């Protein structure tokens, strides 16, 4: 517009057609400049992304505190569009979703406490929960089958919308749920020999909506949560990621001590990445942003600090007496921000989309601000 104004003041005798041409040129130059700026910024952003590996495993844990199962097997043709298992695995803003099942959309708990409010239970306090196998009942992923020693299998469906509503609180963050069928609750009560436990779900059998909560309410670690992030019954973020190299690193140290190695399932990660350089353990520590293929983007919230759940022996259903892997992790995986060692990365979903095993993974390196 400045060029147009200058031309008018110095050439009053010019025809309107000439003015129009100059005006068009002016606009063209402006658009071109904006286009070049956008191209430069896009190139700068693109250039900051680094190829780091491929998705090696995808796991969903429908019931908080129990085992999960792998999903998203790679299509034999290499094209996820032709594989039902692949096309049905999504990363949503609230976490992983396969068919109708969300990650941590069920939670087991009890209200037999001083406050009389629902409190969840996990392997941390009841390690024998690890002996329960959780598998999808069929290819629709609309229910799960539970199997446990000396117990008949039982199928867990989404509860009826008329079932009792339950108010619950996870880490000072309020939420609601719907009580599951009594047959399911009796199954857990029989297995655990506790009459006070029951299962709650964040959605009913209409599947019209799923209840979420705000993890920023957590007085200890809520400060790391983005204000728009919501989870279902996960502790603090929708997605947890680690790498095969990090898993191999801790196992190599346990081998040197002649101690039993860890199962990769014990980390309860949703995404496990096989890194391009398998000698670089814990490279996920500096992945500030993660992209899965061309569509899904994730943003790191914080490292995952580990609790007693990782000490549970999946073969015996008891806590390991040698205190591993926490004992070894404490020797080299402590940071000032947390009182327990870190392993893996907790992520916020910036751009949801479909995921599958074998897809490329990219990252933008950015050190966690409380790492030192």
Per-residue pLDDT 10s for the chain (372 aa) are 333 232 233 334 444 443 333 333 344 444 444 444 333 334 335 568 999 999 999 999 999 999 999 998 554 455 544 444 545 799 999 999 999 999 999 999 998 777 778 889 999 999 999 999 999 998 889 999 999 999 999 999 999 999 999 999 888 888 999 999 999 999 999 999 999 999 999 999 999 999 999 999 999 899 999 999 999 999 999 999 999 999 999 999 999 999 999 999 999 999 999 998 878 899 999 999 999 999 999 999 999 999 999 999 999 999 999 999 999 999 999 999 999 999 999 999 999 999 999 999 999 999 887 665
The residue to which tokens 């956008």 are assigned: 38
CATH code (residue 122): 2.40.33.20
Q: Are 112 and 120 in contact (CB under 8 A)?
A: no
Whether 315 is in a domain gets the answer: yes
CA–CA dist 116, 151 (Å, integer): 29
CA-to-CA separations, 350 to 2, 95, 224, 292, 295, in angstroms, rounded: 40, 11, 15, 11, 10
Of 81, 89, 45, the closest CA to residue 296 belongs to: 89
Whether 19 is in a domain gets the answer: no
d(CA 357, CA 89): 10
How crowded is the C-beta side of 30, counted as CA atoms within 13 Å?
Answer: 10
**Tokens (6 digits) for 292:** 């899965």
Domain assignment of residue 191, given as a range: 50-365
Report the C-alpha gap between 4 and 242 in whole angstroms.
57
Going 257 to 261 to 264 to 269, the CA torsion angle's sign is negative
Establish if 83 belongs to a structural domain: yes
- Inside any domain, residue 56: yes
How many domains does the chain divide into?
Answer: 1
Give 277's DSSP letter: S
- For helices 2-10 and 16-48, the axis angle rounded to 10 degrees is 160
Indicate the SS3 state at residue 237. Answer: coil
The answer to whether residue 270 sits within a structural domain is: yes
Give pLDDT, residue 371.
Answer: 63
Does the bond joining 325 to the residue before it have cis omega, within 30 degrees of 0? yes
Would you say residue 264 lies in a domain? yes
Query: pLDDT at position 372, please?
Result: 57
| Per-residue pLDDT, 98 | 94
- Closest to 200 in 3D by CA, of 168, 230, 227: 168
1 within domain boundaries: no
Query: Is 36 domain-assigned?
Result: no
Whether 305 contacts 340, CB under 8 Å: yes
pTM to 2 decimal places: 0.84
pLDDT at residue 64, rounded to an integer = 97
What residues contact residue 19 under an 8 Å CB cut-off, 6+ apart? 4, 7, 8
């Amino acid at each position: 517009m400045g060029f147009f104004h200058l031309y008018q003041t110095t050439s009053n005798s010019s025809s309107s057609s000439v003015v129009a041409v100059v005006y068009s040129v002016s606009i063209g130059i402006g658009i071109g400049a904006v286009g070049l700026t956008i191209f430069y910024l896009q190139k700068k952003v693109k250039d900051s992304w680094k190829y780091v590996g491929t998705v090696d495993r995808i796991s969903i844990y429908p019931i908080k505190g129990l085992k999960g199962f792998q999903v998203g097997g790679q299509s034999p043709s290499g094209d996820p569009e032709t594989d039902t298992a692949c096309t049905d695995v999504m990363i949503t803003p609230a976490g992983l979703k396969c068919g109708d099942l969300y990650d941590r959309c069920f939670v087991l708990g009890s209200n037999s406490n001083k406050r009389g409010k629902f409190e969840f239970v996990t392997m941390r306090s009841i390690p024998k929960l690890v002996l329960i196998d959780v598998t999808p009942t069929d290819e629709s992923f609309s229910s799960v089958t539970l199997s446990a020693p000396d117990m008949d299998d039982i199928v867990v469906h989404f509860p009826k919308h008329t079932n009792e509503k339950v108010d619950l609180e996870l880490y000072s963050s309020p939420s609601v749920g719907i009580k599951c069928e009594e047959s399911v609750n009796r199954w857990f009560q029989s297995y655990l020999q506790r009459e006070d436990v029951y299962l709650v779900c964040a959605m009913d059998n209409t599947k019209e909506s799923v209840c979420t909560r705000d993890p920023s309410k957590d007085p200890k670690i809520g400060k790391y949560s983005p204000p728009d992030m919501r989870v279902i019954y996960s502790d603090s973020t929708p997605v947890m990621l680690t790498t095969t190299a990090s898993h191999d690193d801790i196992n190599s140290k346990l081998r040197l001590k002649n101690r039993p190695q860890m199962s990769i399932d014990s980390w309860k990660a949703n995404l496990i990445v096989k890194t391009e350089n398998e000698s670089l353990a814990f490279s996920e520590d500096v992945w500030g942003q993660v992209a899965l293929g061309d569509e899904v983007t994730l943003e790191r919230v914080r490292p995952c600090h580990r609790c007693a759940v990782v000490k549970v022996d999946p073969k015996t259903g008891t806590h390991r007496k040698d205190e591993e892997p926490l004992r070894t992790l404490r020797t080299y995986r402590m940071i000032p921000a947390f009182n327990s060692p870190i392993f893996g990365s907790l992520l916020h979903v910036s751009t949801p989309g479909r995921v599958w095993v074998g897809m490329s993974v990219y990252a933008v390196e950015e050190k966690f601000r409380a790492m030192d």
